[in-house]
């Protein structure tokens, strides 16, 4: 058996085409504010890609690049100003933040209606209640992949390896909302392989290179690899996932790394921005 390649590119392209149409139908272009502190290369790259993609789908994007020594009060003041601006529909604070910034009050400060990352406690509660309109981007993008490739979730055994608030926990909530029977596994799960082998749908987000091996996967399972890890191969850097490539010989479907889930994270951010703009327009 060789797993079907669940590539992210066609999924992202279809989603972005829909987003562009929705953006064009609004009375005013959606506007997204991206906030970045410092010059961390990864954060600079992520924000640049989000800014570029926004322009491609008709979203007006503005980058607030703040010095790394920006104070908590200065950051919160900027967020308050953006909350009050009616023309700003979405606000994203790029994580991680510098060590001197307390992340929780920052995420709490973003207006839930403009929280296009889906991290505000109000939106998290709505997600677990099954009523969220702004979901965290990566897990929502994973649902787009499953839908695009016709993977039925209802009634299936789903295992999520990883319990982060960005991927693992919201992924479990969304799969539960689709009527899957869900298990969250993590670093302290006893006999992890026995748990993962039960999964019809296995989502892996642990940040450990090639951690999931073939013997940990149920034959024919759909495997979603969220990991993006850089390893050294012969003195050269290589990007690999949390799932070993040999899993393709066991699984029924497998997302590639790179070229899989990562593409959907940015695409879903654009979708969330347009959704926020639509909801705000409807209230006026």
Q: Binding-site residues, please?
A: 162-164, 228
**Residue tagged active-site, from 50, 114, 156, 218:** 50
User: Is 50 noted as a catalytic residue in this protein?
Assistant: yes
**Residue tagged active-site, from 111, 114, 115, 117:** 117
User: Is 117 noted as a catalytic residue in this protein?
Assistant: yes
- Beta-ladder partners of 157: 181
C-alpha 8/C-alpha 90 separation (Å) is 24
Q: Binding-site residues for NADP(+), please?
A: 162-164, 228
What is the pairing mode between strands 31-37 and 90-93? parallel
Pair 32, 54: CB distance under 8 Å: yes
266 SS3 class = helix
Q: How far from 147 is each of 6, 27, 152, 160, CA to CA, in Å?
A: 11, 30, 7, 18
- Report the b/e string of 46-77 with b at 16+ CB within 10 A: bbeebbebbeebbbbbebbebeeebeeeebbe
Which residues have a catalytic role annotated? Answer: 50, 94, 117
């Amino acid at each position: 058996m060789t797993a079907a390649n669940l590539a992210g590119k066609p999924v992202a392209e279809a989603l972005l085409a829909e987003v562009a149409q929705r953006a064009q139908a609004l009375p005013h272009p959606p506007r997204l504010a991206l906030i970045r502190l410092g010059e961390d290369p990864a954060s600079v790259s992520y924000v640049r890609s989000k800014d570029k993609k926004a322009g491609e789908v008709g979203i007006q994007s503005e980058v607030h690049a703040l010095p790394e020594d920006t104070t908590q009060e200065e950051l919160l003041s900027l967020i308050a100003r953006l909350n009050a601006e009616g023309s700003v529909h979405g606000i994203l604070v790029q994580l991680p933040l510098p060590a001197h910034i307390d992340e929780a009050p920052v995420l709490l400060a973003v207006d839930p209606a403009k929280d296009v990352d889906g991290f505000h406690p109000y939106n998290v509660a709505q997600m677990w209640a099954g009523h969220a309109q702004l979901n965290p981007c990566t897990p929502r993008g994973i649902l787009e992949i499953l839908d695009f490739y016709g993977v039925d979730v209802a009634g299936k055994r789903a295992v999520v390896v990883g319990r982060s608030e960005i991927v693992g926990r919201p992924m479990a909530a969304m799969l539960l909302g689709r009527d899957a029977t869900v298990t969250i596994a993590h670093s302290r799960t006893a006999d992890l392989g026995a748990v993962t082998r039960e999964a019809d749908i296995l989502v892996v987000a642990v940040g450990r290179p090639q951690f999931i091996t073939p013997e940990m996967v149920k034959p024919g399972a759909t495997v979603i690899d969220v990991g993006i890890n850089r390893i050294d191969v012969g003195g050269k850097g290589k990007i690999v996932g949390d799932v070993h490539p040999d899993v393709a010989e066991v699984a029924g479907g497998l997302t590639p790394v790179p070229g899989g889930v990562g593409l959907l994270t940015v695409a879903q951010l654009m979708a969330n921005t347009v959704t926020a703009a639509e909801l705000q327009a409807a209230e006026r």
